[in-house]
Each structure stands twice: as structure tokens, then as C-alpha cells.
Amino acid sequence: MTEPFSLSVNATDGAARTGVIKTPRGEIRTPAFMPVGTAGTVKAMLPEHVRATGADIVLGNTYHLMLRPTAERVAKLGGLHQFMNWSRPILTDSGGFQVMSLSKLRKLTEDGVSFQSHIDGSRHMLTPERSIEIQCLLGSDIQMQLDECPAIPIEHDKARESMLLSARWAERSKRAFEELSKPGQALFGIVQGANYEDLRRESLDKLIEIDFPGYSIGGLAVGEGREEMFRVLDFTCPHMPADKPRYLMGVGKPADIVGAVARGVDMFDCVAPTRSGRHGQAWTKTGAINIKNAIFAEDPEPLDPESDCPASRDYSKAYLHHLFKAGEYLGPMLLTWHNLQYYQDLMSGLREAIASARLAAYIENFKSETGETLV
């Protein structure tokens, strides 16, 4: 019998792998990109269009949802899937990262983190147990342990202290999850340790001892740069269990994803395609462009005439330029949609390349077409 939550690796190419994560709410093809639906909506997108781009799973943010509309209200309304009209898998973060980046008057203790809402100033406490309780109220399929996510650079002793706190929180998270979760839901442990090889190994060893159905790599994409991030992946990924999903949190730009997939990462999330789309940036096969640039004012070509995505195919760059100049809703709507399609096309291209053992050629082509440098 198959586990209710399990990864099947179907093919490998070097360190890269492609496969399927099976969950009761549907399969997740890996490597997978998860669009970010912060407050119960992938911004400016209809859920049916998110799905149409090829997304198998979306992400929800515990911090935002616990404050508004609150996890209790979402639970009362049937859970996050029903609330946001998305029946497939949902991953939620623990809330910890955004407490540290968005809230006010934070205080971190062994117990957890107390903070003041950025919305209305109300006081809250997030502990490993409360984070799991919230994620179970939301009903997410893949949940994250509460962790502390320090910026890089950080001194070794401070990084170790923080990593050890996250490891203790991992254990508390697992106990809470065992009590509150339903069959088929999964809790991931989060590898911390900044950019220190010994700390990443120590963190990973502790998490493997606790035993999780998947492992996240946290604390990257926090300003360390692409080269340094890849260096951390180079000494971390090879030690991660081969039969469990590996999720690189908050990453990234297309070139980040391509490089991380080559190093064995299975799952990604990032606000880049949606946030950039709302601000007029579009990824194309030949690199990123800003549609507000005057050179597009009379450009009759669509962003991608060969795409099946209406947003990429049915509107000229001149029209998109006009929509952004005029401040029309449709501009962010179409560019977000296009960018999410670009990301999903990138993922399916990577999956096919790995399955046919031609990832190196795929990456060379990506580099030459986009002009991106991958270390």
C-alpha cells in the first residue's frame, strides 16, 4: 500500500530528479513551482487560471491568514480549500518568517514569538504548537514547522544557537502535528544553519532523527546572493533523504530555480512572478522585460505568440503597455497570468529534460536564451 503522502522519483539526471508527490488532494509533479496565495488568493488571479497554467499546488501564508480573516473563521467556513475555491493541495508556511519581517514589537523566546499585528496592532503569540493548530484549522496539506530564519551574514555561534532553537521547535511541531493533523497531511522539518556547512549538517541530522515526510531548506534567499545560495545547496542537498521531497523556501527567480533543480531540489515558491507581474515586469523566453518601457508602446507582438496561455498570446505588448500606463486592473491581471505560465512552462521543461536525461543541454539553452549566468 502506498503512503497517503509520498514521493515517487521517476527519473534522475545528475543530482536533479523528477517525480510525483502523491497526496489525497491530488498529485504534485516535481520539480514543482507553487504560486503564492498569501491572503487566500493568488493575487490578481482566478483559481481556475492558476490551475490552467499547470500549478498542482499553491501556498498560503499563515501569518496573514491568522490575522485576517483568522484561522478559526476559515475553519468555520469549511477550510482554506473551500474558502479560496482551490480543491488541490495547499502548502502553508509556519508564519514565523513573516512575523519577523512584517509585524511590530516582536519578542522571541524559547516558547515562541509574540508580536503585534501590522494590520490593527493587536497582540498575538505564535508558538510551534499554535502554528500547527492554525495550519490544521486552515486544513493545509503540507505544513511547516515554526523556525527562526536569521539573515546572512550571521556569526557561527549565533547561527548555531538559532538553528538549535529551530530544531527544538521542530520536535514540538511534530508532537502537535501528530495530535491535530488528519491522515494524508504532511509536516516538513526545516533545515537551518545559515551558510555554515557543519550547521546545515547538524540541523539536517537532528531533523532526520525526528523524522519528517519532507524537508525544507530555510534561511536562503535572504540576501546572500545566488552563488552563495548554490554553494549551500551543494553541501546540503546530497545529505538530504533521497526518498523525501526537498523544498527550497521562497526561491526564486527563474535562474535560481534552474540552478537549484540541478542540485536536487523538488519544490519552490516565490512571489516573483506575481509581484513582478503587478509591477509591469514580464519574463519571456529571451529574458525579463518591463512592459512600461516606451519601446513597447507600439509593439504589436504578444509576449509569446506560441503559448496556449491567453494572457501570453492574445494581447499585444502595446496593449499591455497601455494598460499599465492607464493604471487598469487588466494589466496586472494579464502579466501575473503570463508570468505564472512562464514559471510553469519552465518547470515542465525542467521535468521533461530530467526525464530524458538532457538537463545539461536544457540549462545551456536557458542560459544562452535569457543571458542568465548560473554558477
Known binding-site positions for substrate: 93-97, 147, 192, 219
315 touches a second copy (CB under 8 A): yes
Q: Rounded CA gap, 266 and 289, in Å?
A: 27
Least Å distance between CB 225 and a second copy? 32
279 touches a second copy (CB under 8 A): no
Contacts of 300 (CB under 8 A, 6+ apart): 316, 317, 318
Stretch that binds a second copy, among 45-53, 129-137, 172-180, 220-228 (CB under 8 A): 45-53
Stretch that binds a second copy, among 92-100, 159-167, 178-186, 293-301 (CB under 8 A): 293-301
Least Å distance between CB 343 and a second copy? 18
Work out which of 1, 2, 48, 306 binds a second copy, going by CB under 8 A. 48
Task: Cite the beta strand spans of the chain per DSSP E.
Answer: 6-13, 16-23, 26-30, 32-34, 58-60, 90-92, 104-108, 113-116, 123-126, 142-144, 186-191, 215-217, 246-248, 267-269, 281-284, 287-290
295 touches a second copy (CB under 8 A): no
Which grid coordinates are listed for 225? Answer: 546572493
With respect to a second copy, which residue has the nearer C-beta, 75 or 210?
Answer: 75
85 touches a second copy (CB under 8 A): yes
What is the crossing angle of helices 156-180 and 197-210, to 10°? 20
157 touches a second copy (CB under 8 A): no
H, E, C per residue of 12-61: EECCEEEEEEEECCEEEEECEEECECCCCCCCCCCHHHHHHCCCCCEEEC
With respect to a second copy, which residue has the nearer C-beta, 100 or 330?
Answer: 330
User: What is the contact surface with a second copy in residues (CB under 8 A)?
Assistant: 39-41, 43-46, 48, 64, 68-69, 73, 76-78, 83-85, 297-298, 300, 310, 314-316, 318-319, 322-323, 325-326, 328-330, 332-333
